A and B are shown apart, each in its own frame.
Chain A
Amino acid sequence: MKRVIHILLIEDDTLDQMEVKRTLERRNILHRLTILTNGEEAIQMIENTDEDIEKPDIILLDLNMPKRNGFEVLASLRANDRWKDVKVFVLTTSDEVSDKHAAQLHGISGFITKPLKLESPSSLDAFNLMIDLMNI
C-alpha cells in the first residue's frame, strides 16, 4: 500500500515548478506538493516553532533564487533540530558544477538535473532514487 508523499518544492521558476509537477503526475506517484517560490518563505517556515506546520517527507530545493538562495535555506535547515533530518534533493542545471560541489558540503541526499526529460535516464537517476527512498 503506497502512502502519499508530502513534497516541499522551493523553486522560483514557474516552468520548473510545472516540470516537477508533471513528472510526478506522469510517474503516477501519490503525492502532496507544497510550493514556496523563494528562499525567504522557506526559511520563515523552517524557523516557525508552530507545531501545526507539517514537516514534509522530502524537500526539492533550487539553488538560484531571489532574496535568500538555496544555500541559505540549506544552512537554516541544518541548524534547526526539527528539520535537520529532512531529506533534501537539489535541483540544478548540468553546467553549475561549482554549485554542486558547494551543495554537497551540506550533506544533501542527491541532485536532480534539469531538464527532467523522461527519455533522458541520467537526469532522472536522482529522481528515481528519491522515489525509491520514499517507497521503502
Chain B
Amino acid sequence: MKIAHIILVSFFSILILFSITTFINYQQYGLVNENAERLERSTLIVRNSNRFQRNFLNMVSGLRGYLLTNETSFLQTYDSAVVENKHILSELTTLVPEGSDQKIILDDIRELQKYWVSEFATPLLEAKRNADISEKENQAFHKLYREKLLNKLEKDVQASLQRKFSDFTNYEYGHRISDRENLAHTVQNTKSISFYLTTISVILGTGIAIFIAHYISTRIVRMVKMANEIAGGNYAVYMQEKGNSELSQLTRALNNMASILGSHIAVLKRQKDEVDQFAHIVSHDLKAPLRGIDNVVTWIEEDHSFDLPPKVNEYLKVIKGRIVRAENLLKGILMYARAGREAPDREVVDVNEVLAEIRGDLGTYTGIALEIQKPMPTLFTQRVPLVQVFSNLIVNAFKYHDKKNGAVTISWREEGEYYHFFVSDNGPGIPELYHQKIFAIFQTLQERDTLESVGVGLAIVKKILDDRQLFVSVTSEPGKGATFSFTWPKHEEHETSNPHPAYRR
C-alpha cells in the first residue's frame, strides 16, 4: 500500500469519526433545546391552568356574592373572570398539542365550565336581574337559587373541575420529570459516545502517526546507510524490500542504482587494469626490438667503424641517440603505468628524511641550492608515492633551472587534516597557457634535443594525487620562477579516505 493512500485513508477515517461525534452532539443540542422549549411551554400551561382555576373560583365567588348582596362589584369580578378565562382557554388550546391526553382533559375542563356557566350561572343571573321587577319573579329567583346552588350537582361540577385541573397540572409535572430523566439519559449517552469516539480517533490517529513515522524513518535510515556504503565504494549492498510504497520503490531504485554503479565501476576498473597492463606489455615488448637495433649499431661501431665514411658514423650516432630516447619513453610509460599500482602499507614517514634522501640523489646538478623549511612534518601514509611526488617536483625544478646560481625551496603549512607542501624555484617559470598542459603525459615545454626529458614526471605526480582525490597546482611568474603545491593528508587510512575539499578533476 502506498504511503499517500495510508495517510489519506487514515485521515478520512479520523474525519468520519469526528463528523459522527459532531453530528451526535448537534442532535443532543437539538434535544436539549426541544426539552427547554417543552419545559417553558409546560410552565406556561401550568401557570395558565392555575390562573384559570383562580378565575373560576372568582367566577363562583363573584356569582354568589352578587346573588347574596346584590352588589354589582361582584358581578364585575364575575364578568372579568369570564372574559379572562376565555383568553386563557384559547391560549391553552394553542399550547397543548393536538391529540394529546392533556387536550382531552382541557376539552373536558372547557365543557365543564361551559356546563357550569350555562346550567347555573347564566339562569341564576337572569333570574336575579328579573327579581326586582315583581315579588313573583323574586320568589322564582329564590326557588331557582335553592334548586341550583344548594343542589349537589353544582358542587359535583365544581369538584369535577377541580379534579380535572389537578389531573391537568399533575400530568404536566409528571411529564416534566420524565422529560428531565430522558434528557439526562440522552446527555449521558451522548457523553459516552462522544468520549469513546474521540478516544478511538485519538488512538487511531496516534497509532497511524507512529506507524507512518516509524515506517518512513526506518526506511530512510536504512537508505542513508546504504547511500553511505555506496559512497564508500561498496556497491554490493542490497536492501530487502517487498512493499509497494513510494519508499519501497525508492529502495528498489537504490538497489538498482548500486548494482548498475557496481557493474560500471567494475568495468572501469577492469579497463583501467587493462590499460595499465597494456602499457606494461607494450613497453616491455617494444624494448626487445629496440635492444636488437642497439646491438647491431654497437656491432657496426665496434667492428666496422674504420671501414665506414665519417658521415655514416655520424648517422649511427644519431640512431643511438634516438634509441636512448625511445628507451626513455618506454621507461616513462612503464613508470607511469606502475605509479600507484603497488599499495604498500602505511607507515610513519618523516618528510625531513625523505628530502634528505632526494637531496642525496641530486648530485649531478651543481650551482643550485635546495633550501628546506625546517622542520618538515611527519605523516602516517604510504611512503613510496609521497617520495615520488616530492622527488619528481624537486628533480623538475633542478632540471629546468636556467640560472647559474639558483635555489629550490621546500616549504609547508598546516591546513586542518592536511599538510600543504610547496616546491618553489627561481628558474624560468611557466607561462599560464601551459599550466594545465604540463600535467599531461609526454608533455614537455622544451625541444627534446635540448634537454632529454620524457614528460612523465608531472603526469605521475598528477596520477598519484588524483588517485587520492588530492590536488596539485602551479603558480608562476615567467622569468622569476614557479611554485608547485600539493596537499597530503596527515593521517591516511586508505588511498581515497581523505579526499581534499578543494579537489577538482
Which residues of A are interface residues toward B (Cβ below 8 A)? 13, 15, 18-19, 22, 93, 95, 114-115, 117-118
Rounded to whole angstroms, the CA-CA distance of A93 and B292 in the bound complex is 12
CB of B296 within 8 A of CB of A115, answer no
Which residues of B are interface residues toward A (Cβ below 8 A)? 284, 287-288, 291-292, 294-296, 298-299, 302-303
Rounded to whole angstroms, the CA-CA distance of A100 and B373 in the bound complex is 46
Total number of residue pairs linking A and B with CB closer than 8 Å: 20
CB of A22 within 8 A of CB of B284, answer no
Rounded to whole angstroms, the CA-CA distance of A55 and B435 in the bound complex is 66
Q: Which of A13, A15, A118 has the most chain B CB atoms inside 10 A of its CB? A: A15
The one of B292, B296, B298, B303 that contacts A117, using a Cβ cutoff of 8 Å: B298
Q: Point out the residues of chain B lying under 8 angstroms from A22, CB to CB.
A: 299, 303
Rounded to whole angstroms, the CA-CA distance of A98 and B294 in the bound complex is 25
CB of B302 within 8 A of CB of A95, answer no
Min C-beta distance of A48 to chain B, whole Å: 32
Q: List 8 A-B contacts (CB under 8 A).
A: A13-B288, A15-B292, A18-B299, A22-B299, A93-B288, A93-B291, A114-B291, A118-B302
The one of A18, A95, A117 that contacts B284, using a Cβ cutoff of 8 Å: A95
Nearest 7 CB-CB pairs, A to B?
A: A15-B292, A115-B295, A115-B291, A19-B295, A15-B295, A22-B299, A117-B298
Q: Point out the residues of chain B lying under 8 angstroms from A13, CB to CB.
A: 288, 292
Min C-beta distance of B320 to chain A, whole Å: 13
Rounded to whole angstroms, the CA-CA distance of A97 and B463 in the bound complex is 27
Min C-beta distance of B55 to chain A, whole Å: 137
Min C-beta distance of A76 to chain B, whole Å: 26
Q: Point out the residues of chain B lying under 8 angstroms from A95, CB to CB.
A: 284
Min C-beta distance of A16 to chain B, whole Å: 8
Rounded to whole angstroms, the CA-CA distance of A118 and B296 in the bound complex is 13
Q: Point out the residues of chain A lying under 8 angstroms from B295, CB to CB.
A: 15, 19, 115
Q: Point out the residues of chain B lying under 8 angstroms from A115, CB to CB.
A: 291, 294-295, 298
Rounded to whole angstroms, the CA-CA distance of A113 and B301 in the bound complex is 21
CB of A15 within 8 A of CB of B296, answer yes
Min C-beta distance of A64 to chain B, whole Å: 9
The chain A residue sitting closest to B284, CB to CB, is A95
Rounded to whole angstroms, the CA-CA distance of A25 and B296 in the bound complex is 16
Q: Point out the residues of chain B lying under 8 angstroms from A19, CB to CB.
A: 295
Min C-beta distance of B296 to chain A, whole Å: 7
Q: Point out the residues of chain B lying under 8 angstroms from A18, CB to CB.
A: 299
